[in-house]
Amino acid sequence: MTADVTTAERLGPLGYGAASVGNLYREVSDAQSHAALASAWDGGIRYFDTAPHYGLGLSEERLGAFLADKPREEFVISTKVGRLLDPNPDFAGGDDLAFDFAVPDRTVRRFDPSEAGIRRSIEDSLERLRLDRIDIAYLHDPDAYDLDRGIDEGLPALAKLRDEGIVGAIGIGTNDADAAARAVHEGELDLVMIAGRYTLLEQPALAELLPLCEARGVGVVAAAVFNSGLLATDQPAANGRYNYGAVPPEVLARATRLADVCRAEGVDLPVAALQYPLRHPAVRSVVVGSARPADIAENVARIHASLPDGLWSRLHETGLIP
């Protein structure tokens, strides 16, 4: 492996996930988007994660516009490959809300992990981001389409781009811990972005993925650590979201117990949720996103907040964390 160690080291404890500025769930104006990104930058965040999937390219375009006047050596960009954006031949003024993005569906996603497809994806992303290189490229959710093809074609293609210096580091981005572990076994990865599977609420990534990454020197980026917002407030709500849908009663009960223990220790649940993944030696960064500047500033404060010594022991004693 020709791991780009310096890239992993530059991520910082908190990264910004730019799905929200791609109009995730709701429309966000250009001004709101800029204010959110400015809040992240002003808070010291220098790692920004995006994808063509987010708003059918809108997230990359807005991120590129914001970073255009920032010194290139001061920030790290990750984007994703595997979903190409092609013109929608049936466009009739519709939107992309079936995929949770409030944007016109002028383009459609097409899974293509071939070398040609991945090269085109990177070229398109570079144009939208206004950059001449990508720091990190993740193969995006191949398990949702064809995991075998993603690993057999996509990962070697990414390794070629890394060898050519077109991207600095490569990895997989997924919410499936088993798929990520298989990619680490079979690919030559530098990083894994695991979404929702290593959080204060649930830790299936501990079974195989994280020990494997630690043994092989593969860095881990923990995303969706609030589990679709369930852990983003001090009192989990029954009408909240979990895994992009309704919250099952047993999951709500567990989240409520977590909140109760944290409260007893004088800690807000979102603070513990943000900091928990960073306790594992393989985890390099936690990525969260919002289009609200105040939320971003609050997350910056949370990631640096001091926690009482007994918090993790108490959560372990109650059987809520391993």
* 3-56 confidence digits (pLDDT tens): 455 677 789 999 999 999 999 999 999 999 999 999 999 999 999 999 999 999
- Mean pLDDT of all residues belonging to the chain: 96
- Each residue's pLDDT tens digit, 120-176: 999 999 999 999 999 999 999 999 999 999 999 999 999 999 999 999 999 999 999
Residue 265 near residue 314, CB atoms below 8 Å: yes
pLDDT category at 115 given cuts 50, 70, 90 is very high
Cβ–Cβ under 8 Å, residues 167 and 157 = no
Q: CA-to-CA distance for 8 and 12, rounded, in angstroms?
A: 9
Q: What whole-number distance in Å separates Cα of residue 288 and Cα of residue 40?
A: 11
Mean pLDDT of 199-207: 98
What phi, psi does 6 have (nearest 5°)? -65, -35
CA atoms within 13 A on the CB side of 56: 20
CB 285 within 8 A of CB 14: yes
**Domain 5-317 CATH superfamily:** NADP-dependent oxidoreductase domain (3.20.20.100)
Residue 138: predicted pLDDT: 98
Select from 56, 76, 176, 71 the least CA-distant residue to 124.
Answer: 56
Q: Is the pLDDT of residue 314 over 80?
A: yes
* Catalytic residue numbers, as ranges: 54
Q: How confident is the model at residue 2 (pLDDT cuts 50, 70, 90)?
A: very low
Q: What is the CA radius of gyration of the chain?
A: 19
In this structure, what token pair is assigned to residue 203? Answer: 């830790």
Question: So where are the chain's domains?
Answer: 5-317
pLDDT at 3: 45
| pLDDT score of 84 | 98
Are 218 and 8 in contact by the 8 Å Cβ rule? The answer is no
Q: CB-based contacts of 242: which residues, under 8 Å, 6+ apart? A: 227, 228, 230, 248, 251
- Residue 111 pairs in a beta bridge with 83
Contacting residues for 210 by C-beta, under 8 A, at least 6 apart: 198, 220, 280, 282, 283
Do strands 191-195 and 167-174 pair parallel, antiparallel, or not at all (unpaired)? Answer: parallel
